[in-house]
Amino acid sequence: MDRAPLGLQNWSGHVTFNASALVRPTTIAEVQEAVAGSEAVRVVGAGHSFNDIADTHGILLSLTDLDDGVSLDPSTRTVSFGAGMTYDALAPALHRAGWALPNMASLTPITVAGAVVTASHGSGDTLGNLATAVSGMEMVMADGNLRSFSRAEDGDVFDGLVVSLGALGVVTQLTLDVEPTYDLVQHVYADLPIESLAQEFDAVFGTGYSVSVFPTWQQPHAETVWVKQRLAAGRTSTAVPSALLGARLLEQHPAPLRAERQLTPFGVPGPWHERLPHFRFHDPNAVGNELQSEYYVSRDQAGQALSAVMSLGPVLAPVIDVSEIRTIRADQLWMSPAYARDVVGLHFSWLRDAAGVAAVLPTLEAALEPFEPVPHWGKLFVTEPGMIGRHYPRLADFRSLCRDLDPDAKFTNRFVRDLLEGSVR
Ligand SMILES: Cc1cc2nc3c(=O)[nH]c(=O)nc-3n(C[C@H](O)[C@H](O)[C@H](O)COP(=O)(O)OP(=O)(O)OC[C@H]3O[C@@H](n4cnc5c(N)ncnc54)[C@H](O)[C@@H]3O)c2cc1C
């Protein structure tokens, strides 16, 4: 097993890990050995989180050298695979075999395990976050033992285990629900008035299977709306309205975010894994040239929250690249921001100016405070840890789970301890 000293940084290059070594097990037995023999341990996935959630003062494990071991079971409509696997690797393999995932994030080089643990998500009124697809897991526990968990066998506790923030054990294998493969087509609309969006939120997000609205808050309108429509089996096109509450349908994407070649194709039907993500697979030009924050508010407060952010246009101006507004369906996962309520994600892609972003976040969070926002676990925020925990009704149960499964707090890092009010133990 390869063991290297660190100097490791996250994708955006503004977090340097404190861990003493990066260990790359090649077998589950080596994962067990590394966990059992360490006082403090965490896993790093693709390192795409914008904060120090993955860090530890002990050793960091990378599972990329583990066997992917993809195994499809059409009878249960599930796929199992090694937890070092990225969506980049999993999604095309699934599609080739005739299967699909219901939802994806905006990019694909992230590991499925890293996305699940932080409740990462795409957008869609009927779509839960990516963790809701998990129906089974294998984990190396703090004592080094390998345990299996499943939605069917473990019921409510399973809902506590999935969005774990990495605090419960090393996920070595995941099982996800799959469905027959399907096609989508995406269209882009320009200049949607924010006021219309605030008033007719459901109408806008009901336009497609997956809808994202992109404002920069510097104009009274959102610059673009991306509508991803799912095609019925055998269909190659779908009816597309030529206007959306004043926004006009464009023939081509105006590419305000990135160079056009990096976006997944618009106007042309294609398979789910090449349309649900915004960015193309294996993009060789992808670099960590941005920072990100995201806050979730209850869907029924979306209109008011949008107005509150809109009033901050000049404050955001020095550091905003673009925002993305998405919808996420309610779930039952204890530490999911969508626990028991439909939520709206207010995402902010910032220029790579850590000091500038840090200066803006308190004002942004204060403006959102009336809507009791919770931040994305893997992005930048400054909210007091106790304030976040207060919005999670199952926090006490999650603390108990941490204590039961990891009595010596081997997997608890600064982030987890602070986040759970500094009193996880
Ligand atoms: C350009 C960009 C676009 C993004 N787009 C989206 C988006 O569309 N939607 C969204 O919700 N988020 C998005 N994110 C955030 C991203 O999805 C999360 O930060 C995600 O956690 C990153 O996955 P990762 O593999 O890099 O995990 P890491 O950042 O490496 O780790 C995240 C957490 O998972 C834990 N972990 C990883 N693997 C394991 C394992 N096997 N066992 C136990 N714990 C584990 C780590 O310890 C850590 O706590 C984006 C990030 C970037 C950089």
Atom of ligand 1 nearest to the CA of 415: 49
% of the chain with per-residue pLDDT over 90 = 83
Give me the pLDDT at residue 238, please: 81
Give me the pLDDT at residue 239, please: 82
Q: What is the CATH number of domain 2-61?
A: 3.30.43.10
Give me the pLDDT at residue 424, please: 35
Pocket test for ligand 1, best of 18, 118, 175, 280 (most atoms within 8 A of CB): 118
Give me the pLDDT at residue 78, please: 98
Atom of ligand 1 nearest to the CA of 110: 25
**Dist. CA 115 → ligand 1 center (Å):** 4
From-to residues of CATH 3.30.70.2520 in the chain: 183-272+289-381
What is the rounded CA–CA span in Å between residue 94 and residue 248? 35
| Residue 254 confidence (pLDDT) above 50 | yes
| Residue 251 confidence (pLDDT) above 70 | yes
Which of 97-106, 167-176, 239-248, 398-407 is the least confident region?
A: 239-248
Report residue 114 as tokens.
Answer: 């890293």
Atom of ligand 1 nearest to the CA of 118: 21
Give the model's confidence band at 86: pLDDT under 50 very low, under 70 low, under 90 confident, else very high: very high
Report residue 11 as tokens.
Answer: 């994708």
Report residue 366 as tokens.
Answer: 């204060």
Which of 63-77, 84-98, 319-333, 408-422 is the least confident region?
A: 408-422
Collapsed DSSP state (helix, strand, coil) of residue 368: helix
Q: What is the CATH number of domain 183-272+289-381?
A: 3.30.70.2520
Give me the pLDDT at residue 308, please: 97
Model confidence pLDDT, tens digit, residues 167-193: 999 999 999 999 999 999 999 999 999
Atom of ligand 1 nearest to the CA of 83: 41
Give me the pLDDT at residue 293, please: 98
What end-to-end distance do the CA atoms of the chain give, in Å? Answer: 32
HSE value, Cβ hemisphere, 13 Å, CA-based, for 59: 21
- Of all protein residues, the one whose alpha carbon is nearest to atom 20 of ligand 1 is 115
Residues within a 6 A CB radius of ligand 1: 11, 42-49, 53-54, 63, 83, 105-107, 110-111, 113-115, 117-118, 120-121, 165-166, 170-171, 376, 378
* pLDDT average, residue stretch 276-286: 73
Give the model's confidence band at 425: pLDDT under 50 very low, under 70 low, under 90 confident, else very high: very low
* pLDDT average, residue stretch 88-106: 97
| Residue 226 confidence (pLDDT) above 50 | yes
Model confidence pLDDT, tens digit, residues 109-148: 999 999 999 999 999 999 999 999 999 999 999 999 999 9
From-to residues of CATH 3.30.43.10 in the chain: 2-61
Average pLDDT taken over every residue of the chain = 93
- Could you say which DSSP state residue 86 is in? B
What is the rounded CA–CA span in Å between residue 127 and residue 225? 18
- Of all protein residues, the one whose alpha carbon is nearest to atom 33 of ligand 1 is 114
Which of 289-303, 377-391, 392-406 is the least confident region?
A: 377-391
CA 203-205-209 angle, to 5 degrees, is: 120
* pLDDT average, residue stretch 67-86: 96
Give the model's confidence band at 283: pLDDT under 50 very low, under 70 low, under 90 confident, else very high: low
**Dist. CA 90 → ligand 1 center (Å):** 16
> Which residue, among 150, 30, 56, 54, has the nearest Cα to 111 in the 3D structure?
54
Give the model's confidence band at 47: pLDDT under 50 very low, under 70 low, under 90 confident, else very high: very high
Give me the pLDDT at residue 423, please: 42
| Continuous segment of H or E residues that includes residue 261 | none
Give the model's confidence band at 8: pLDDT under 50 very low, under 70 low, under 90 confident, else very high: confident
